[in-house]
Amino acid sequence: MAKRFIHYEVKNGIEYASVYTPRRENGKKVNDPEYLGRVIDKEKGIYRSRARGVFAYSLERGYAYEIEGTSVYELANVREKEKLILDFGDAYCLYFALQETGLHDIIHNLLPGHEDTLMSLVGYKLLASASNRYVEEWWIGSYTSILFPKARIQSQGISKFYRQFGEEKIQREFFKRYLNQFYPNHSVGVLIDSTGLPNDMNFPLPLTAINTHNGVTSNETRLLLVVEQKTGMPLFFRYNAGNIVDVTTLRATFAEMKAYNIQITNAIVDAGYYSEANIRSLYGDVDEEPIPFITRMGTNLKLYKTLLAENAEDLTKAKYLLMQRDRLVSVKRVEIDLFGHLGYAYVILDHARREDEIYKYARTTIGSNDVSYEEMDMAMKLKGFCIIISSEKIDTKDILPLYYTRQAAEQVFDVSKNYAELLPLRVHNEDTFRGHILLSFITTVAFLSCNQLLKGTPYNAEGAFMILRNQKCKVFNDYILTKEPNKKMNEIYKELKINPPLQIPYSGKN
């Protein structure tokens, strides 16, 4: 029988290969083809396909995926001959910004041997924001592949990277570098909030568990985020199984921050962290430094109902009226006992919100035989109110703006989910989960850092990257020529104080 052979075929200027296995069928010679994919290096037997990524194949040895040393990964970085024009401006701008902010030095060698992979994945999440299955397609067409030619961005390489990047020592090293460089005084005011990460992972505790939140039951991991008050930049994260309630995690978070020599000067925390243990801890009852705090009180607490019953009528008086963000509110400060400590409750009525809530409630309740008029009266009395408590005596006009800084934490979560691929979770073990979360955190910091560089300009990071992606570059044997930037590109470069090069030396071969 004839031997197997590799058949090469050129289509639209691109060379493809298939393995043919000859056989006989009804006396006729038939060739069974097996598609290899696009030819990267014919002499060395390097191919690329959507199914396998970049791989080596020979008739004698068959397929090879993980060849160390001169391996497939090095050869995979040989530029495909048709990719002589690359997306340039977005990658050049991003990596310039990482250098300017100091993030490049913090993250570049976190995982020795995987520097190019890490930098490429950060770029992919910010500049492409798509599933990891398309990393290679993006990388081949981006200037990123010139900057970081040893990136292992095939599926096997990414999985290996996540596993190693998820090690505890890597996370500790990152936070040690990050917090020391960005917060050298080691004293910060913080915002603390948490969010659920729904998933179908079959991980053991303490990673994931069944939880019901706002009436929705799901399998989830709870991610807690610490954000710096003044800048809105993320400081730190922790995670727990979804069924571990927020009230049990605050003291542990402070302890971990202390391990990195970070002193928390004051804290604004979500209502979920209100508990006797947490309040006492914040007052310094357990041999700890007191931390001034602000938090919202849950509506189901006895103290909430008492405060509302005693003060709601006063909030109709003109002396308590304030204009806040073009909204009419009434705020009354009341001294209260907080588990043996002097505290302050700020009873707040948002007049427009009250009317809106009463309308929505009445629209669904009027005519119902299940709710009496007395029950409706009781429910409507509570609409539009909230109570914020604090260890500090704060002017009533300042309490809402202070508490509203909590929204910075929510914005960080939004960036993590929309731009840093925090969700959906597609990982399948604890190590890759930890690596995924750390990479998402780093990418979020990078995105927000780029936004800060553009603060006060007509552009944000997302818009700037989209505009600059249209600036291409041409790759030649010895140098790279960049295309002339248009007006908007020049404006962005000017705002970032970047002088884009016309020509860049290049030692690659095409």
Q: Inform me whether the pLDDT recorded for 106 exceeds 90.
A: yes
Of the listed ranges 124-138, 144-158, 161-175, 422-436, the one predicted with least confidence:
422-436
d(CA 128, CA 421): 10
* Average pLDDT estimate for 451-461: 91
The more confident residue out of 290 and 213 is 290
Of the listed ranges 84-88, 260-264, 405-409, the one predicted with least confidence:
405-409
Determine the pLDDT at residue 66.
Answer: 46
* Average pLDDT estimate for 77-95: 76
Determine the pLDDT at residue 508.
Answer: 63
Determine the pLDDT at residue 241.
Answer: 58
Q: Inform me whether the pLDDT recorded for 463 exceeds 80.
A: yes
Percent of the chain's residues with pLDDT above 70? 83
Max avg pLDDT among 12-16, 76-80, 341-345, 371-375: 341-345
Q: Inform me whether the pLDDT recorded for 256 exceeds 50.
A: yes
With beta carbons less than 8 A apart as the criterion, state whether 291 and 282 touch.
yes
Q: Inform me whether the pLDDT recorded for 40 exceeds 50.
A: yes
Per-residue pLDDT band for 221 (boundaries 50, 70, 90) equals confident
Indicate yes or no: pTM above 0.85: no
With beta carbons less than 8 A apart as the criterion, state whether 150 and 99 touch.
no
* Average pLDDT estimate for 244-263: 79
The residue among 403, 461, 470 whose CA lies nearest residue 122 is 461
With beta carbons less than 8 A apart as the criterion, state whether 254 and 264 touch.
yes
- Give how far Cα 13 sits from Cα of 83, 85, 145, Å: 12, 15, 22
With beta carbons less than 8 A apart as the criterion, state whether 488 and 464 touch.
no
* Average pLDDT estimate for 201-209: 51
Rounded to 5°, the CA angle 56-59-64 comes to 25
Of the listed ranges 99-103, 114-118, 195-199, the one predicted with least confidence:
195-199
* Average pLDDT estimate for 159-171: 88
d(CA 200, CA 219): 6
Q: Are strands 293-296 and 263-269 parallel, antiparallel or unpaired?
A: parallel
Quote helix, strand, coil % in the chain, to nearest 5.
Answer: 40, 30, 35
Percent of the chain's residues with pLDDT above 90? 39
d(CA 219, CA 209): 5
Q: In whole numbers, what is the pLDDT of the chain averaged over residues?
A: 83
Helix (H) / strand (E) containing 403: helix 396-404
> What b/e string do you get for 280-294 counting C-beta neighbours within 10 Å, with b at 16 or more?
bbbbeeeeeeebbbb
* Average pLDDT estimate for 236-245: 66
Q: Inform me whether the pLDDT recorded for 318 exceeds 50.
A: yes
- Give how far Cα 68 sits from Cα of 42, 72, 147, 314, 434, Å: 19, 8, 21, 75, 26
Per-residue pLDDT band for 73 (boundaries 50, 70, 90) equals very low
The more confident residue out of 402 and 211 is 402
Q: Are strands 85-87 and 187-198 parallel, antiparallel or unpaired?
A: unpaired
Determine the pLDDT at residue 225.
Answer: 86
Determine the pLDDT at residue 207.
Answer: 56
Of the listed ranges 350-354, 409-413, 417-421, 438-442, the one predicted with least confidence:
417-421
Question: In the block, which residue shows the tokens 């250098």?
Answer: 99
197: which residues sit within 8 A by CB, 6+ positions away? 220, 221, 222, 223, 239, 422, 423, 425
Of the listed ranges 22-36, 184-198, 282-296, 350-364, the one predicted with least confidence:
22-36
